[in-house]
Structure 1
Amino acid sequence: MIKVSLTELYQMNDNMFLCAVIVPRYEGKWVFVRQKGKKTWELPGGTHEINETITETAERELFEETGAKKFRLFPICISSVNINNRKSYGLLFYSEISELGQLPNSEIEELKLFEELPENLTYPSIHNILFNKAVEFSGHIKTN
């Protein structure tokens, strides 16, 4: 069983985070990626590496999985995912991408822009909650 919880941002040591997940927008559309060999869509993100802040993880993963060259990144909240009584923590980010480059050679095969949450998700019970939180958050961002 999977249980996802979201909590407000508070001081948490970066080494407590397993991953960063980013909900990005580009030209008014939501960015989702598809890994090589899969037919489902997911949000960009990945594992927090040693000697890296969680924000650096988000920046690296956003570039590696989307080719984003210029973007603004906003931390939203802490997510905890409990799968079969094993809990892990991640930091959820919202991003506004202003420039996309070529998709780097990585595990990502395709990037696609969507008007709304796609139906064919790799992790529907997790990404549905994270996406909805980011949509709510994005309504409070002031654009310059």
Structure 2
Amino acid sequence: MGQVHFHTIGDVCDSKLEFGVIVAEFKDKWIFVRHRERDTWEIPGGHREKDENIDHTASRELFEETGAKKFIITPICDYSVTINNNTRFGRLFCSEIKELGELPNLEIEEIKLFNVLPENLTYPNIQKYLYEKVLLWKRQCE
């Protein structure tokens, strides 16, 4: 299990941000991805590369994992996940994808559009909270 906490952007030291995670919409549906080595669904995202800006991480990962060619991406908040007294940090984004291209031949086997959070998640105790945080943010923006 993991404990997920949300933080205002800027409250977490930038150098501690390891992940960019992007809850993404395309044609009013949520995009989830399936890694080649798993049979579960994940929110697009991934690890920050050395000396990479975390916002660039999110844009790069969104393209690599979905094939998104045109999109609007917005940082929502930073988050932390604590498992066995080990805490790691990331930044959560929301994206509206305008155009999808071909899926790059990397670690993602397929993408799928969902109306709601799929039950078969790779990290259910983390992704559920990230997804819900973006839904709450979207409702507050309406």
**1:128 equivalent in structure 2:** 128
Secondary structure of 1:139's aligned partner: helix
**1:66 equivalent in structure 2:** 66
1:41 aligns with 2:41: yes
TM-score (norm: length of structure 2):
0.95
Letter in 1 for 2:88: S
Aligned-partner Cα distance in 2 for 1:101–1:61: 14
Letter in 2 for 1:97: I
Aligned-partner Cα distance in 1 for 2:80–2:12: 13
Aligned-partner Cα distance in 2 for 1:71–1:60: 12
The answer for unaligned runs of 5 or more in structure 1 is: none
Q: Give how far 1:139 is off.
A: 2.8
Aligned-partner Cα distance in 2 for 1:141–1:26: 18
Matches within 5 A, 1:1-144: 1-10=1-10, 12-141=12-141
Aligned-partner Cα distance in 1 for 2:23–2:71: 12
> What's the % identity of the aligned pairs?
51
Letter in 1 for 2:36: K
- Encode CA deviations 1:83-129: one digit per residue, 9 max, x unaligned: 10000000000000000000001100010000000000000000000
| Over 6 Å off, 4+ runs | none
Aligned-partner Cα distance in 2 for 1:66–1:137: 22
The answer for unaligned runs of 5 or more in structure 2 is: none
- Equivalent pairs counted in the alignment come to 142
